[in-house]
Amino acid sequence: MTHSLHRMGSAENLDQEIIFVLTPSRGINSEGAEGKIKKFLDIIVSNGPVHYGDDRVGNQYTAGYDKIVENLEGITNIHAVFNDFEKAKKVFREIVEADLGLSVVVSGLFDRARGCCEAAGVQYHSVEHSLGIWGNRKLLPDERTLEVLTMCGHGLVSANLIRAMADDVRDKRKSAQEAAEELARHCLCGIFNTERAALLLKELA
């Protein structure tokens, strides 16, 4: 599942966002990987991500660090979102120095994602691009809503909830951050960028 690939937004809006995904591979390096996964998680959390989570346990809002650590298994995906390219480069250097031996995806604008690898002295292995959305595009919500909706690759954040949260922000029932966190609860794996969503919700409100 390509959680972060089809994120939509302007180059300016996506410029600082970097997502990391740690994925042990079943039958290759997942056995006994729990300690390495915890090390990855600790590097992430110590650097103050915008959001993080384990797609089997939950995200920072629904589970939190302790519950994620208690339930770590060798087969999982750990996700983390950063909104600061310089910080993301530092984080990835720490990940590489930790020498975990588990696969890590760096996702973002191509030059930024490659820049993280270069800063850590790593020659990237493979790349996945999106060729966009095809088919009956009349079924899609408006572009701004879509920018928020595509932050959850599993499609668990509904367009109607995004509109409802934008209404709550407009009518001052919620702050933009509170509304973004309400949306983030449903993106189980923690890949939803609450800071970027808050900015977009203000525009939608």
Partner 1 sequence: MIIETEICTACESCVPYCPVEAISVKDDHAEIDQDICVECGVCYRASVCPVDAITEPELTWPRTLRSLFSNPITVFEETGVAGRGTDEVKTNDVTGRYRRGEVGFGIEMGRPGTGTTFRQVQQMTIALAKIGVQFERKNPLTTLISDVKTGSIREDILDERVLTAIIEFKVPIERVGEVLETLRKKEKALDTVFSVDYISRPGLDGGLPAVEQAKRLGYEPSRHVKICAGVGRPKID
Residue list 135-154, contact with partner 1 (CB under 8 A) = 135-137, 139-141, 146, 149-150, 154
Pick one of 65, 71, 86, 110: the residue that binds partner 1 (CB under 8 A).
110
Around Cβ 166, how many Cβ atoms within 10 Å? 22
Please report how close the Cβ of residue 115 comes to partner 1 at its closest, in angstroms: 10
Which string of x and - marks every residue 54-83 that binds partner 1 (by CB under 8 A)?
-xx-----x------------x-x------
Chain centroid to Cα 46, Å, comes to 17
> Interface with partner 1 includes 189 (CB under 8 A)?
yes
Sign of CA dihedral 24, 87, 146, 134: negative
The dihedral formed by the CA atoms of 18, 79, 178 and 169, expressed in degrees to the nearest 10 = 50
Residue list 4-43, contact with partner 1 (CB under 8 A) = 4-7, 9, 11, 14, 21, 23, 25-26, 28-29
Pick one of 177, 185, 199, 202: the residue that binds partner 1 (CB under 8 A).
185
Report the candidate in 62, 57, 66, 53 with the shortest Cα–Cα distance to residue 19.
53
- Number of amino acids touching partner 1 (CB under 8 A): 74
Pick one of 70, 160, 171, 172: the residue that binds partner 1 (CB under 8 A).
160
| Cα–Cα distance for residue pair 119/96, rounded to 1 Å | 10
| Cα–Cα distance for residue pair 203/48, rounded to 1 Å | 26
